[in-house]
Amino acid sequence: MNFFRKLVVTIKKYLYRAVSSLLIIYNSREDKRATLIESLNKLKNGLAKESKETKQMLEIYRKYTIGQASAEEMDFANEQFRDIIKSLGLGVFLFLPFAPITIPLIVTLGKKLGINVLPSGLKNMDTKEKPE
């Protein structure tokens, strides 16, 4: 009788550990899913902001061709054009092997060297606050 009692206690321990491990894995997976969704929403908002600014840039350049753009508007349009060039520069690395490693490496290296590699709409993606 004592043997069966020890066996039941041992089985309960292993079952408890197994269920605990499964719950930890499940919760970890849910946390990762929530983090992924949050990151994708930040990316979507950043790209939407870039798209809106690019449309404004094109409108300003159109106004410039007929002589109606101010100096401040031209500064904004030129800055947005620089952002487009930055995006294209990072886009080249998307086609290289190991892009998930090289792009963050380039962004980190740029920060250390004081070079702004990311477009303005994507700068705040690594912060915890929500983009505009």
User: pLDDT 10s digit of each residue in the chain, 132 long?
Assistant: 576 677 777 777 777 777 777 677 777 777 777 888 888 888 888 888 888 999 999 999 999 999 999 999 999 999 999 988 888 887 787 787 887 788 888 888 888 998 888 887 777 665 554 444
Tokens coding 56: 């404004």
Do residues 77 and 109 touch, judged by C-beta distance below 8 A? Answer: no
Is pTM beyond 0.85? Reply is: no
Angle at 70 between CA 117 and CA 53, to 5 degrees: 40
